[in-house]
Amino acid sequence: MLDKTLLDQYFAEHREEFLRDICRLVRIPSERGEPLPGMPYGEGPAKALAEAMEIARELGFSVKNYDNYVCAADLNGLPTELDILAHLDVVPVSNGWTVTKPFEPVVLDGKIYGRGTADDKGPAVAALYAAKAVRDLGVPLSKNVRIILGTDEECGSSDLEHYYSIEKEAPKSFSPDADFPLINLEKGGLRGAFSAEWEEDKALPRLVSADAGIKLNVVPDRAEAVVEGLSRPALEEACAAASAKTGVEFALSDAGEGRCHILAKGLGAHAAGPQGGNNALTGLLCLLSSLPFAESEGIARLRAVAECFPHGDCLGKALGVAMSDELSGETTISLDIFHYSLTGLRGEFDCRACILANDENLRDPIREKLAAGGVILAPCAVFAPHHVPADSPFIQTLLSCYEAYTGEKGYCVSIGGGTYVHHLENGVAFGCAKPGVNNRMHGDDEFAEVDQLLLSAKIFAAAIAEICG
């Protein structure tokens, strides 16, 4: 095992450049955009990839660009035994940031704030510096470690599909895009889209529109609607009651022509852990379902959706699909995208399912429940979980490194999220966040603890030395 004192000294000496390089990446807005020539995910991800490649070259890695989908940074020219996969793309931002602006990173009170500091630019830099430390400290290696940096993790990981159509998987892989100690089981799930259409009904009062959601894997922190034909006092009373029931805050403003705009403000979260947020969309549906609209087909369909996805029900109880098992835990479900117009509605939900789930006990009951309310579920299928046995030598090596550098017991956990290694045969998620710490991933004021990133880099360096030595 690498000497802890040497690593402590090494990262103390390189702390400032470590943080500098994280900031270089965080300053680049790298949400997925429209494809451009030579830029499959748009300009932002391509710029972040170019900056990451420059950082890797400065650190002494041999770097290869795979058509601006991913880059690979090799520590040496030996056969690769370990791939470490991190990503440079980020989820969209809102205007609710208070500590700093999303792409203006700051270090404050031991934390580095900015979009991507925790997910996943900070961990990407930690992996690069871990490998650099192994080389700089003269650790003898018989194998190579390859750092793979991608640009489409948040939107389906098509970047890795491209990469692995060219390259083979390493015998061992981990992604520092989750929590310690180690995640060896990732739930399967179901990503469903539903819709309904009808003829416009002009009877008042009525719902004119409703909109919420920016990405399928993000619990929405904002939702809005426009209503017509209801008095301001009646709306204020209904908003107060809905807010008391859901914890979502509502604000009213004049939309002209006898219409009123409703803004719902909740708390965003990753769809893999919807209990950590307060869904503004389902809060808005709760409010809208309580309003005395004229009866219409549209309102009936909206109320059916609200009944299927009641506020606070993250386990699918209303849909009849609540299930769990000892190994992978509970199934969760989150309604994250919704649009309503005068002639139709559509929505999308993100379900993270325990290993007992299949099309018959998950998809089919949801389809039937929606259909009973006149809402159609588009064709979809439950996707499989990912599991690497906890007693594998690879996992035991990673856990021993974690224990040696934290002094805490290492163990395996199951998560609802699908990480970058979900489709790799011997891939696990390992770091970077401390257990129980909410880094506000996918939310406002995202941050990473500086000391935790540095500790992660030390653990990764130890793992590289053990696995590639």
Catalytic residues: 89, 153
Please give the structure tokens belonging to residue 20: 């500098």
Please give the structure tokens belonging to residue 254: 């004049």
User: Letter for the amino acid at 344?
Assistant: G
Q: Cα(409)–Cα(298) distance, rounded to whole angstroms?
A: 54
CB atoms within 10 A of CB 129: 28
For residue 432, say if its preceding peptide bond is cis, omega within 30 degrees of 0: yes
Task: List, in order, residues 6 or more apart from 339 with CB less than 8 Å away.
Answer: 209, 210, 211, 212, 345, 346, 347
Q: Cα(48)–Cα(321) distance, rounded to whole angstroms?
A: 40
User: Taking CA 306 as the corner, what is the angle to CA 302 and CA 309, rounded to the nearest 5 degrees?
Assistant: 140
- Asked if 252 and 197 count as a contact pair (C-beta separation under 8 A), the reply is no
User: 3-state DSSP call for residue 58?
Assistant: helix
Dihedral sign (CA 417, 419, 423, 428): negative
Q: Cα(83)–Cα(395) distance, rounded to whole angstroms?
A: 14
Dihedral sign (CA 148, 105, 275, 451): positive
Q: Cα(336)–Cα(273) distance, rounded to whole angstroms?
A: 12
- Asked if 449 and 179 count as a contact pair (C-beta separation under 8 A), the reply is no
Please give the structure tokens belonging to residue 396: 């035991």
Please give the structure tokens belonging to residue 186: 């990732």
Q: Cα(79)–Cα(319) distance, rounded to whole angstroms?
A: 50
- Asked if 182 and 402 count as a contact pair (C-beta separation under 8 A), the reply is yes
From the list 154, 176, 175, 189, the residue with the least C-alpha distance to 442 is 154
From the list 194, 228, 192, 59, the residue with the least C-alpha distance to 132 is 59
Name the burial class of residue 112, with classes exposed (0-12), middle (13-18) and buried (19+) by CB atoms within 10 angstroms of its CB.
buried
Q: Which residue matches tokens 């609710």?
A: 96
Strands (E), 48-205: 62-66, 70-74, 80-87, 106-108, 111-113, 144-150, 172-175, 178-179, 182-186, 188-197
